[in-house]
Structure 1
Amino acid sequence: MNLIKNLQWRYAVKKYSDELVSEDKIDQIIEAINLTASSCGIQPYRLFVITNAEIRQKLGEGSFNSQIYASSHLLVFAGFNTITNDYINTYVEMTERQRNLEVGALDILKNTLISHFSIQTPEQNATWSSKQAYIGLGTALIAAAELKVDATPMEGFNPELFDDILGLSEKGLHASVIMSLGYRDEENDYLASVPKARLPINEFSMKIH
């Protein structure tokens, strides 16, 4: 199975070469993230793809993760700060159009979502959105591996700095998790030649019949 082989190939790259990832491959990774599962399908986060060297240098200030600026592309997964009624209305209407349904066909779903999120605190909304963004991160890692593009998922960054530099707060968003993309520098990355270490399957997983 190619998927398993590709996942065995991937690791969290520490040092990237200067080789850039083609826009075609970046677009495929973006599309894969857009196709990611999300609770109720409402995609409560947005993706920022950053190549600007000056911006990335600023984003990496104070972080031990040099991959923020020393890679081909940087992906920022930014969760919603709140799930508004307007967003739910707009999203459900879009779904009805894309599925060729009558207007109001998904009113039960819409009303259920509005009822649920209206009683959640902003903190609960933001936490939930970030968890949904992590599902997108997982898909991005798999998509990159399938395309033989190296990647590094990262939590070691200053989210407030990202929010400020990227103007996320004004967009109703917050930086949840980030990921760099590029190609490994095999000569200078100490992990490039290290065997992958994982628990034995029978220790990691349990089948309950």
Structure 2
Amino acid sequence: MSKIIETLNWRYASKRMTGRKVPSDKVNTILEAIRLAPSSMGLQPYTVLVIEDQELKKKIQPIAMNQPQIVESSHLLVFAAWDNLTPGHIDEFISHTAATRNQPETTLVDFKNNLLNIAAKNTQEENFTWAAKQAYIALGTALVAAAAEEVDATPMEGFNSSQLDELLNLKEKGLRSVTIMPLGYRDTTNDWLAGLPKVRRQKEKLFIVQ
């Protein structure tokens, strides 16, 4: 069995965590994997909040259906998508691209205009929905990276996004929370899911080869 398959068989969505701190080098590796995650046109239209403060996690827990992993985690990642795709976002992206690749911004005019046209033709909600989909790609990358570091990670949608946005002042930042992910270590004593066989659809039903 390949290493990646062994890793994915090892991981599961931990229901309880021990509270033990994840070493900073492992956290940084997971965050770097998120930074390197693919996204449509490379825009990465989201921000990831990395929450370590225990008191803040306690405030988030009731917003997230009192799930224990929120406060038992070492770090809580909040994936927040851009509320809208604006010309300012595009200008910053084009400037950063030109600087990174050491090329004049004039060589990116057609690309920039294409992005501006896409942003303009969609409604704000359509732009947010697109951004949220990109955030989920980053989430998936983070889950695999965490497993590779033997760190448990639990993707969550069970929270009140408007309340979380208010608590974290995301509206003022032009962001809306999409999904959250506690990082930590599984509590095998108290987690009912620990040790149970992984249940996934049979490949014959999941894949259609044509």
Please give the range of the TM-score, normalised by the shorter of the 2 chains.
over 0.9
Q: Does 1:55 align with 2:56?
A: yes
Match of 2:30 in 1: 29
Match of 1:111 in 2: 113
Match of 1:166 in 2: 168
| Contact 2:48 2:79 survives alignment (8 Å) | yes
Match of 1:200 in 2: 202
RMSD: 1.0
1:92 positional shift: 0.9
Distance 2:149 2:14 in 1: 15
2:149 corresponds to which of 147, 162, 165 = 147
Match of 2:10 in 1: 9
Structure 2 spans left out of the alignment, 5+ residues: none
1:99 positional shift: 1.1
- Cα deviation, 1:16-74, whole Å, max 9, x if unaligned, reads 01211011111110000010010000010000000111111111114142212221110
Q: TM-score, normalised on structure 1?
A: 0.97
Q: Which runs of 4+ in 1 moved over 3 A?
A: none
Distance 1:163 1:35 in 2: 25
Distance 2:74 2:92 in 1: 34
| Contact 1:65 1:157 survives alignment (8 Å) | no
Higher normalized helix content (fraction of residues): 2
1:158 positional shift: 1.1
Distance 1:161 1:59 in 2: 9
| Contact 2:188 2:194 survives alignment (8 Å) | yes
- Cα deviation, 1:106-134, whole Å, max 9, x if unaligned, reads 11110000011012111111111111100
1:204 positional shift: 1.0
Aligned residues with identical type, % of pairs: 45
Distance 1:205 1:80 in 2: 33
Match of 1:74 in 2: 76
| Contact 2:83 2:175 survives alignment (8 Å) | yes
Distance 2:145 2:101 in 1: 26
1:172 positional shift: 0.3
For residue 153 of structure 1, what is the amino acid of its counterpart? P
Match of 1:41 in 2: 42
Match of 2:138 in 1: 136
Structure 1 spans left out of the alignment, 5+ residues: none
1:96 positional shift: 1.1
| Contact 1:32 1:139 survives alignment (8 Å) | yes
| Contact 2:90 2:115 survives alignment (8 Å) | yes
For residue 87 of structure 2, what is the amino acid of its counterpart? N
